[in-house]
Structure 1
Amino acid sequence: MARRVFLHIGAPKTGSTYVQNVLWNNSDALQRAGILLPGTRSAHDQAMTDLRQVSWRDPNATWTWDQLAAKAAKWHGDVIITNEALGGATPEQAARGVAAMAPAEVHVVVAGRDLWRTLPSMWQQSIRERRSWTFETFLRDVESGRFETFWEIHTPNRMFRKWGDLVAPDQRHLITVPPPGAPHDTLWQRFAAVIGIPDGVCEMAAPTANPSLGAAEIEVLRRVNGALGEKYPVRTPYQKVVQRHLVNAVLKKRRNETRFSVGQDRAAWVRDLAEQQIKELRDYPCHIVGDLTDLRPGEMAASPSPSPDELDEKQVLQAAIETIVAMLGHADDLSQTGEVGYDAVFTRAKQDIKRGLRRVTRR
């Protein structure tokens, strides 16, 4: 049976893509060192959707949480299960998730990031998952308590109440995301220290992070989402078409220079929330890797650029036109490399974008 099982449960937008890339790109080396990542990256995601019983679970998914646990149970060393959406489980689901790993010693690993950076990143991620609300609507809903999901899945305090309370204090681990300017591998070193991954086991060169989009690019995507209507209504079809061919192939490759922040009108609110979060975590018995002050917003100066809601319509139109041109190039590249079956996909995608542009020009 497994000796220890480390459940890395989140949060999203805390460098999880970077950490997971290092892990999966070095899975063979980790296994030789006695550390198993059971199944595949997709298996961890499918097991998460099974455990949480989400409505958007891929109907073609085959992995369940119990299957992943059974795979882990056959290993005689340490096991890592990682998916940043696990933190969104209910208390009952978390209890089932931990119980399935018995009799192994279960460790809960949570990463935390300061709210000033988390809020715009989380809104952007929601757009990349097919939402179409504006940045201001998102902030108002979080501020008023109408969007409790944000707190449940993005704050270590809430995640520890559901997952951490199920294990002993020395089996709860909080990793703080280092502030801007820290060496790029600091987050990985903190994660590796929790698991006990020796130096030199993992190659660090290849993995990349999950880059943010600029204000114009994310606004184009938001309007495309609104224009999709009933197309690609759930997670997997949306990922296969929109995420793959619009976000990954085009939008991520643009300059994405126009960055934005929460706004000075909410700076005091964010600062107060950060202090409350730090106090709660200081009082919660767990192993902290990093420093709780990392959760305190650093530079909160006014953003030099407008938020996506404040962009001039001409800026959005120009970004949309350039996006269409880039998508045509992407389609041509696919046809040149022999991939087939994408003509209809791109025709539909271009039509959706054009409908969104017509709405822009009418306004």
Structure 2
Amino acid sequence: MARRVYLHIGAPKTGSTYVQNVLWSNQQVLEDAGILLPSSAVAHDQAMADLRQARWRDTDVYWTWDRLAEKAGTWSGDVIISNEGLGAATTEQATRAVESLQPAEVHIIVAGRDLWRTFPSFWQQSIRARSGWRFGAFMGAVEQGKAETFWENHTALRMLRRWGDLVPAERRHLVTVPPPGAPRDLLWHRFAGIMGIPDGLCELAEPTSNPSLGAAEIELLRRVNLALGDSYPLRTPYQKVVHRHLVDSVLKQRANELKFGVGLDRAEWVMELAEQQIKELQDYPCQIVGDLDELRPTKMKQTGTPDDLDDSQLLQVAIETIVGMLGHAESLSEQPDDHKEKVFARLKNRAAGGVKRRLRLATRRDE
């Protein structure tokens, strides 16, 4: 039976990719120290989709939430489960998740980021998840109180109320995302301190993240989503085709120089929302790691939006993207004949590693 289970549930675009990269790249080191990351990042993602019964999930995947919880329960030390999509679970789904991990001591970890950066990040993530609405339409919906999905899935307080209320106050943890310019490893150290990972145990590679696309690139993707119609309606096929061949291989590789954001005309409104958010979190009983002042926007600059782009600008980006995709296609066609053999060898090595880990676990139990 696990001693403690740390559930890192989100929100998206709060440095979760960086934290998860450190965790997974040090998976064996952590396991040797008595901290288990069960299976793989893909398993956590599949289990999240199963728990939420998301309409875009693939129903024939191996990893369900119950399977992941069962694996966590076989460990005698601490367990970490991390997926930023968990925060969007309903109260009923969150209750099921926490109960499935008991009698282990369950901890809930939520990350919060200032709204000035969160609004455009949320919209971009929705486009990269196959949405087709314009940025202006999204911001208008927020202003009119018609964007409950944003508040439910991307703000710390809503997540804490659904998940944190299920555990004692001392097991609720809010990590504030440091402001621009802060040392990147500061966020890692905040997470590591909660999860009991000693300083120096994990190797911190050059920080990586889930880079944002520029205004032209994300607008191009939005229009591609609309043109796809009913093609690739499920998450995995969309990721395997659109993300692999367009987003990851081409759009992310561009300079993405034309940034976009909320706009100074909404700065006062965003600041008022931030002050309200800070006040509500001050009143919520939880452990704050960082400083709630970091949820107050800074360096608010005037920017345009993807809606401002004209067709000639997008045409040029589309042509350059097609050229990039041709190069990507050529690189795939030039893979050596032994590519499949190399893939098979990697899978074989992973399987052997899994056997070794199970043997070590069995030895520990016998001791």
Normalised by the length of structure 1, the TM-score is 0.91
Residue 191 of structure 1: how far off its partner (Å): 0.5
Aligned match of 1:352: none
Match of 2:173 in 1: 173
Q: Which residue of 2 aligns with 1:29?
A: 29
Question: In 2, distance between residues paired with 1:117 and 1:290?
Answer: 17
Q: Matches of 1:86 and 1:98 in 2, distance apart?
A: 12
Question: Which position in structure 1 is the counterpart of 2:319?
Answer: 321
- Conserved in 2, the CA contact under 8 Å of 1:25 and 1:207? no
- 2:140 and 2:310 map into 1 onto residues whose CA distance is 22
Give 5+ residue unaligned stretches, structure 2: 339-367
Give the AA of the match of 2:274: A
Q: Deviations over 1:94-134 (max 9, x none)?
A: 11110001100000000000000000011111111111111
Equivalent position of 1:344 in the other structure: none
Match of 1:66 in 2: 66
Query: Where does residue 18 of structure 1 map in the other structure?
Result: 18
Matched residue, 1:108: 108
SS at match of 1:107: strand
Instruction: Give the superposition deviation at 1:338.
Output: 4.5
Q: 1:60 deviation in Å? A: 2.5
Q: Give the match for residue 49 of structure 1.
A: 49
Structure 1 window deviating more from structure 2 (72-81 vs 197-206): it is: 197-206
| Equivalent residue number for residue 360 of structure 1 | none
Aligned to 2:296: 296
Q: What are the superposed Cα offsets for residues 157-201 of structure 1, whole Å, 9 maximum, x if unpaired? A: 100110001101110000000000001111111110111101121
1:331 corresponds in structure 2 to 329
SS at match of 2:101: coil
The farther-off stretch of 104-113 and 255-264 is 255-264
The alpha-carbon deviation at position 233 of structure 1 amounts to 1.3
Residue identity opposite 1:315 in structure 2: Q
* 2:149 maps to amino acid: T
The aligned runs of 1:69-80 (5 Å cut-off) are 69-80=69-80
Aligned match of 1:310: 308
| Aligned residue runs from structure 1 range 157-306, under 5 A | 157-205=157-205, 208-303=208-303, 306=304
Cross-structure match for 2:359: none
Read off the aligned partner of 1:310 and give its amino acid letter: D
C-alpha distance in 2 between matches for 1:208 and 1:282: 31
| Matches of 1:286 and 1:140, distance apart in 2 | 32
Aligned-pair distance for 1:156?
Answer: 0.8
Alpha-carbon separation, structure 2, partners of 1:246 and 1:212: 14
- 1:359 corresponds to: none
Deviation per residue, 1:82-102 (Å, 9 max, x gap)? 110111111111111100011
Q: CA deviation at 1:265?
A: 2.0
Deviation (angstroms), 1:145? 2.3
RMSD, aligned α-carbons? 1.3
Q: Which residue of 2 aligns with 1:9?
A: 9
Decide whether the 8 Å contact of 2:184 with 2:207 is kept in 1.
no
TM, length-normalised to structure 2: 0.90
Cα deviation, residue 269, structure 1: 1.5
How much does 1:136 deviate? 0.3
- Contiguous gaps of at least 5 residues in structure 1: 341-363
Distance 2:234 2:136 in 1: 24
Instruction: In structure 2, give the amino acid aligned to 1:283.
Output: D
For residues 141-166 of structure 1, the C-alpha deviation after alignment (integer angstroms, 9 at most, x for no partner) is 22222221110111111001100011
* Structure 1 position 325, deviation (Å): 0.3
Q: Shift in Å at residue 339 of structure 1?
A: 8.4
Q: Secondary structure at the match of 2:84?
A: coil
Q: Work out the percentage of aligned pairs sharing the same amino acid.
A: 67
Cα distance in 2 for residues equivalent to 1:118 and 1:338: 43
Q: How many Å apart are 1:207 and its aligned residue?
A: 5.3
The CA distance in 2 between the partners of 1:59 and 1:44, in whole Å, is: 15
